[in-house]
Amino acid sequence: MEKIIEIKHLNKSFGNHEVLKDINFSVNKGEVVCIIGSSGSGKSTLLRCINLLEVPSGGEIIYKGENILDDNHDICLYRKNLGMVFQQFNLFNNHDVLGNCMVGQRKVLNRSKEEAENISMKYLKVVDMDKYINAKPKQLSGGQKQRVAIARSLSMEPDVILFDEPTSALDPEMVGEVLKVMNELAKTGLTMIIVTHEMEFAKDVADRIVFMDKGVIAEEGTPDKIFNNPSKERTREFLRRVI
């Protein structure tokens, strides 16, 4: 199986606070990995290290056979191939829906206006937001904003998309529409790393579950193993609290 990203012995400290300790894991092409764990266990920091929003303190991130943390490595290609969807959407408020999907394609990928527009429309249809191309973010509901953020990320056609609690900022009635879109994407073979507190969704969508606890990967395995037959007491204890 083709590995998209492989992480070896990754560490991250803020001052003398060690937030990630010797993280090892990899993601295969087409795989959906859900990361679960208590608040403060290091899930967001791990995603932010993977896409270099944070600089890891040590370890390796292997992409296409090269360690992108090597001093002389050109990280531009790597970053173009990673998408990110945030809890707080992070849409550009001054752009309309179509503009939000086009900016990165024009500036980072140098696509023509026509091409960027066509690709944006394709992915806005996927998330069922193609009727709203001229709306500004402030006119949209949270669920609609997040679906636009997903379309924006898809429009860059990255190798993998990282999702950091994409439904945590939503009113409960809007969670379902976003999870439905993500479920459909998972079936298309998109490679996804998803931090989530939605356990039913994780069970349903994930090929593999990674359970983080206090800065380490405490246990990983198939949804069946993690949810029905976890081998570590701390996994059982976490699941007792959240399910």
Q: Does 92 bind ligand ADP (CB under 6 A)?
A: no
Nearer to ligand ADP, 120 or 196 (CB): 196
Nearer to ligand ADP, 42 or 104 (CB): 42
Contacted by 14, from ligand ADP, Mg ion, none: CB < 5 to 8 Å by type = ligand ADP
What residues between 8 and 47 interact with Mg ion by CB under 5 A? 44
Min CB(41)–Mg ion separation in Å? 8
Nearer to ligand ADP, 50 or 124 (CB): 50
What residues between 1 and 30 interact with ligand ADP by CB under 6 A? 14, 19
Nearer to Mg ion, 144 or 196 (CB): 196
3-state secondary structure the chain: CCEEEEEEEEEEEECCEEEEEEEEEEEECCCEEEEEECCCCCHHHHHHHHCCCCCCCEEEEEECCEECCCCCCCCHHHHHCEEEECCCCCCCCCCCHHHHHHHHHHHCCCCCHHHHHHHHHHHHHHCCCHHHCCCCHHHCCHHHHHHHHHHHHHHCCCCEEEEECCCCCCCHHHHHHHHHHHHHHHHCCCEEEEECCCHHHHHHHCCEEEEEECCEEEEEECHHHHHHCCCCHHHHHHHHHHC
# residues contacting ligand ADP (CB under 6 A): 10
Min CB(194)–ligand ADP separation in Å? 13
Nearer to ligand ADP, 44 or 100 (CB): 44
Positions in the binding site for ligand ADP (CB under 6 A): 14, 19, 37, 39-45
Positions in the binding site for Mg ion (CB under 5 A): 44
